[in-house]
Structure 1
């Protein structure tokens, strides 16, 4: 993770922000940023059903900070099972979201920088695929397409054309079908997390 973050920091050294790992002290700032950027409707999304009561995938919660250290962007990835493969085995994947940038800092490349850092780190950690629900014209530039997710469904209402996937390993989602299921570690006391 340090190598990825160092390279992103070097690339944006002249910019007004830096990409960093989320830390425990970021919780309040992250929630305020998400409320401001996405509103209360974010809690009704099908993606939230997969995130609720879980912690993000290890090493895959990133933030953008301005020069004063204030959080101005966030992205998190979550462990899920992306249906089953032809043999009936669950297929591990990641669900991306939410990706949000403080409205006062939009248009500065912060969202793109967060996406590139998150996808690079996910690839470096050995993950096979990333799924998300979002605007295809924005996410296609990162390699996300609806065709890769055509045999998968979200656990609740979703717009099919906005359900996108990126294979980090060629053919990872080939032959998979079914409903996404949360598989990440649960929030709460450590003794309850062992079985998750």
Structure 2
């Protein structure tokens, strides 16, 4: 049994170690990290999943503010589950929990770079017209609407967001 909670500053080193374990230390060279570098994540949406007994960190998820075609957007990721906890539905629980929290907070849209077969179960689909920094494969740029027609009319490059976190258009 795992307990999902908002990430605290004390969680940071364990989360980074989990991300290194799951994605390798070279993960920070990915194009999506250029959008995150020097930008604070959205704190109310960053979660951990800890074992009820012993406090083992089984998973973590973070969200970052970006602009997609100039529109305030959440960038989901990374989401990671410790190899010993994979297959238990923990990643899905983190995603569902945080998408509901993002919607409740007034965010309209979320994007990520990932595998469509996995993320489609949460409503994500390929985004045409949204350009992640290269060398991102366009087939892996996925989005979900948290508000009706949130992606309608949104196209163009995904850029860093500098400033106070936007919530909605």
State if a TM-score over 0.5 links the two structures: yes
Deviation at 1:184? 5.0
Q: Secondary structure at the match of 1:111?
A: helix
Point out 4+ residue stretches in structure 1 off by more than 6 angstroms.
Answer: none
TM-score, normalization: structure 1?
0.80
Aligned to 1:106: 86
8 Å contact 2:50–2:56 — kept in the other structure? yes
User: Is the contact made by 1:63 and 1:71 (CA closer than 8 Å) also made in structure 2?
Assistant: yes
Structure 1 position 129 matched with structure 2 position 115: no
Q: Is 1:41 matched up with 2:33?
A: no
Q: Gaps spanning 5+ residues in structure 1: where?
A: 1-15, 84-89, 187-196
RMSD (Å) for aligned C-alpha atoms: 1.3
8 A Cα contact 1:74 1:100, kept in partner = yes
Q: Which residue of 2 aligns with 1:165?
A: 143
1:78-133 superposed Cα distances (whole Å, 9 cap, x missing partner): 111111xxxxxx21110000010011110111100000001000000000000000
Counterpart among 57, 70, 84 of residue 56 in structure 2: 70
The aligned counterpart of 1:60 is: 45
Verify the 8 A CA contact 1:61 1:75 in the aligned structure 2. Answer: yes
Rounded to whole Å, the distance in 2 between the matches of 1:105 and 1:184 is: 35
Deviation at 1:185, TM superposition (A): 4.8
Structure with the higher fraction of residues in strand conformation: 2
SS in 1 for 2:58: strand
Higher-Rg member (1/2): 1
In the alignment, the residues of structure 2 paired with residue 112 and residue 142 of structure 1 have an alpha-carbon distance, to the nearest angstrom, of 8
Q: Distance in 1 between matches of 2:43 and 2:17?
A: 23
Distance 1:66 1:54 in 2: 29
- Which region of structure 1 is more displaced relative to structure 2, 171-180 or 121-130? 171-180
Question: Cα distance, 1:52 vs. partner?
Answer: 1.0
SS class of match (2:33)? helix
- Count the aligned residue pairs: 163
Is the Cα–Cα contact under 8 Å of residues 154 and 180 in structure 1 kept in the other structure?
yes
Task: Find the aligned partners of 1:31 and 1:96 in 2 and give their Cα distance.
Answer: 16
User: Which of residues 183, 192, 195 is equivalent to 2:161?
Assistant: 183
